[in-house]
Structures are given as structure tokens and as C-alpha cells.
């Protein structure tokens, strides 16, 4: 049973527009959420995170929103750039437990 779900395997967005990547989770004990970005032939790189005590965290063009009641989080990228084209993984942790990852969403930003 997947505890972290990214239901969209791929997303295509025009350059300059907003990219919204979604993630749902089932474990109500998760208290820390992260987004990683992965380019081909490279390992995932940490992008942004949010604690369960917050509902929004912003870092430059990247904003993560957390809706605990819906067990849903989303990553907004605005404006999207061609260099943002990558696979994005959502991950979650409960206390000090290992990260649980989703399957990833491939974002393509079209110039």
C-alpha cells in the first residue's frame, strides 16, 4: 500500500506559466514533507520542505502548500523555466523514521 502517492506521472507546462505538482498521503503520522528534483543520470536533490505545523513554505520560485485535513500537498513553481524540466519526488517522514517517497512526476517545461 503506497503511503505517498503522486497520481500524475507527467505534466507539461509552457515556459513562464505556473507548474503545480500534487502529492497525497495516507499516513496521518507524517509530520515532515519534502520535495526532491531529479535530472537524468543524477541523484535526487533536495528542493524544499514543510513541517506539519505550517501550511505554506516559500523559497524563491518554489512554494509548497500543505493541507493536513485533505492529506495533500502541492509544489508550485512560478514562473516555470525550461531548466525546471525534471522528475519531482514527494517524500514524507513520521518523527525520525525513514523517508517514504512517491513515484515521481515528470515535469516538462516547454519553451
Partner 1 sequence: SAVISQKPSRDICQRGTSLTIQCQVDSQVTMMFWYRQQPGQSLTLIATANQGSEATYESGFVIDKFPISRPNLTFSTLTVSNMSPEDSSIYLCSVGEGPYEQYFGPGTRLTVT
Contact 3, 101 (CB under 8 A): no
60 binds partner 1 (CB under 8 A): no
| C-beta of 4 vs 77, nearer to partner 1 | 4
Contact 88, 8 (CB under 8 A): no
Stretch that binds partner 1, among 14-22, 32-40, 61-69, 78-86 (CB under 8 A): 32-40
| Near partner 1 by CB under 8 A: residue from 104, 105, 107, 109 | 104
Q: Where are the beta strands (DSSP E) in 6-70?
A: 10-14, 19-25, 32-38, 45-51, 56-59, 62-67
35 binds partner 1 (CB under 8 A): no
Contact 5, 54 (CB under 8 A): no
- Cα 90 from Cα 35, distance rounded (Å): 5
Stretch that binds partner 1, among 19-27, 53-61, 66-74, 90-98 (CB under 8 A): 90-98
Stretch that binds partner 1, among 18-26, 62-70, 72-80, 98-106 (CB under 8 A): 98-106
Which residues form the interface with partner 1 (CB under 8 A)? Answer: 2, 4, 32, 34, 36, 41-46, 49, 89, 91, 93, 96-104
Amino acid at each position: 500500500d503506497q503511503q505517498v502517492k503522486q497520481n500524475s506521472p507527467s505534466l507539461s507546462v509552457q515556459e513562464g506559466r505556473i507548474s503545480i505538482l500534487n502529492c497525497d498521503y495516507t499516513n496521518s503520522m507524517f509530520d515532515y514533507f519534502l520535495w526532491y528534483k531529479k535530472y537524468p543520470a543524477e541523484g535526487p536533490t533536495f528542493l524544499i520542505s514543510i513541517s506539519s505545523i505550517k501550511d505554506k513554505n516559500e523559497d524563491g520560485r518554489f512554494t509548497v502548500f500543505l493541507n493536513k485535513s485533505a492529506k495533500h500537498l502541492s509544489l508550485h513553481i512560478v514562473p516555470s523555466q525550461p531548466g525546471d524540466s525534471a522528475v519531482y519526488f514527494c517524500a514524507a517522514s513520521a518523527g525520525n523514521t525513514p523517508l517514504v517517497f512517491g513515484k515521481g512526476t515528470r515535469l516538462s517545461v516547454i519553451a
